[in-house]
Amino acid sequence: MYFGPAAGDPWKGYYSYELGSWHIVALNSNCIRIDCWVGSAQELWLQSDLAAHHTRCILAYWHHPLFSSGIHPGHARTVAMRPIWRDLYRAGATVVLKGARTIVAGTSGPLYINASGNPALATAGSGDVLAGIIAAFACIMPAEQAACASVHVHGLAADVWSARHGGADRGLLASEIADEVPAVLAALARRADPLPV
């Protein structure tokens, strides 16, 4: 088991936990192996979990996208996750759509499209780094602002790494993304461009 007992039943692949004032929900979007449709065990568990955790700060994540503008077969939409998406929306979760151009949608209505980042972010662990940045920012600002700031910093970290190493012809390691975050934050705090000249 990748995360050990903290991840719950390894045959289900969905669980939740608390992180500061946030309720974090990990979901299984491998809908070929686990039922994701309306009334599935996972959806019923999610509804119960959300009802038991009345908090403003809900973050949910899963691997396969519900929405995608990608043309690669791996970018195919997982429409089976739609009921789970609806449950999260009804609970007031802020939604981050991670991809080449990350989209943030909150319950207030507007969509925010982030322009930083590059294809090197399409790698295992990248979403975990993004979730950590969101959780950190959420300690000091509202959820939608935290999500927007986080996806921008996350993308800039990949852009900085790629600029320093002559482009990225591979996916970045999660640690390579995380290692760039402090310098990106420091540059932004100085109102400087974090990208090397």
Residues 14 and 88 in one domain: yes
Cβ neighbours of residue 127 under 8 Å, at least 6 residues apart? 61, 63, 98
Rounded Cα distance between 29 and 36, Å, is 7
Question: 8-14: long-range contacts (C-beta < 8 A, 24 or more apart)?
Answer: 12/41, 12/42, 14/42, 14/45, 14/46
Instruction: Tell me which of 62, 93, 124 is where a domain ends.
Output: 93
Condensed to tens digits (0 to 9), the pLDDT of residues 25-56 reads: 888 888 878 888 899 999 999 999 999 987 77
**What is the reported pTM?**
0.61
Query: Is 160 part of any domain?
Result: yes
- 3 and 89 share a domain? yes
Task: Specify whether 14 is located in the same domain as 55.
Answer: yes
Query: Which residues constitute the domain of residue 68?
Result: 1-93
Question: Over the Cα atoms of the chain, what is R_g?
Answer: 17
DSSP 33: T
Average pLDDT rounded to a whole number, residues 10-21: 83
- Looking at the structure of the chain, the number of domains it has is 2
